[in-house]
Homo-oligomer: A and B are copies of this chain.
Amino acid sequence: MTRRPRTGREPLNRERVLRAAIDVADAEGLDAVTMRRVGQALGVEAMSLYNHVDGKDALLDGMADLLVGEIETPPADVEWKEALRRRAWSGRATVRRHPWAPALFAARPQVRLPMVAYLDGVTGCLLGAGFSPQLAHTAVHVLDSRVLGFTRDLFDPGVQGMPDPALLEAMTGGALPHSQRIMAEAVHDDDVEFAFGLDLILDGLERARDSERSG
């Protein structure tokens, strides 16, 4: 007689499906995330998931998006180094809660909007602190591999397939102002960036050793 046939459970939605998938990955690892297993966690057949998610790949993409969303963004008035530090620790806490996160990020073929939005925030923080677009771009690369446990080239169109349409839309529509500026004003050279990050680390290590000796 009522709308809900014979079970009291609330209807599925995209969010609940993604959360269930994350729970399965947390408990049993990323490989355990199958359509059938996630369905089971929700008390539903695997095929029901297709009503809320476009398929397995979309499910994994959605999981990655939610993970990035867990990283906290500090208020804009926090001093730049402190702001980057807070973001880094929040990102690290996320990876700790979900140890399979780096494997998921590394396996996904596309860099997606939430990740780019996160990096846009980091970039804005650096630009606001007086970094040139060129240096800010390079800095983001050095930082993100440390925080998220992986490195990926964002602006290199050769590596990935066609980017997410939503991403292009956000990019050209002004929703990612800092990334847009980097695209326009920074030269993109992987080797130069790699060399910069490497020397930054090596020089920092040398300094740390010397102060250790004299200390």
CA distance A33 to B84 in the complex (A): 39
A160 nearest in chain B by CB position: B99
B-contacting 9-mer, from A8-16, A44-52, A140-148, A176-184? A140-148
What is the minimal beta-carbon distance from A70 to any residue of chain B, in angstroms?
A: 17
CA distance A129 to B210 in the complex (A): 11
Question: Which residues of B are found within 8 Å of A143, using beta-carbon distances?
Answer: 201, 205
Q: Which of the residues B81, B106, B142, B212 comes within 8 Å of A149, measured between beta carbons?
A: B106
CA distance A92 to B85 in the complex (A): 27
Instruction: Tell me if A200 counts as interface (CB < 8 A to partner B).
Output: yes
CA distance A135 to B150 in the complex (A): 22
Q: Which of the residues B106, B151, B200, B213 comes within 8 Å of A130, measured between beta carbons?
A: B213
A204-B198 in contact (CB<8A): no
Chain A positions 160-215 with a Cβ under 8 Å from a chain B Cβ: 194, 196-198, 200-206, 208-209, 212-213
Query: How many residues on A have C-beta within 8 angstroms of the other chain's C-beta atoms?
Result: 45
A206 nearest in chain B by CB position: B81
A109 nearest in chain B by CB position: B29
What is the minimal beta-carbon distance from A122 to any residue of chain B, in angstroms?
A: 11
Instruction: Tell me if A58 counts as interface (CB < 8 A to partner B).
Output: no
A88 nearest in chain B by CB position: B198
A201-B200 in contact (CB<8A): yes
Given known contacts A99-B159, A107-B103, A150-B149, is B194 in contact with A200 (CB within 8 Å)?
Answer: no
B135-A145 in contact (CB<8A): no
Q: Which of the residues B103, B200, B205, B212 comes within 8 Å of A205, measured between beta carbons?
A: B200
CA distance A205 to B85 in the complex (A): 13
What is the minimal beta-carbon distance from A21 to any residue of chain B, in angstroms?
A: 17
Q: Which of the residues B107, B198, B201, B213 comes within 8 Å of A107, measured between beta carbons?
A: B107
A residues sitting closer than 8 Å to B (CB atoms) are 30, 81, 84-85, 88-89, 92, 99, 102-103, 105-107, 126, 129-132, 135, 139, 142-143, 145-147, 149-152, 159, 194, 196-198, 200-206, 208-209, 212-213
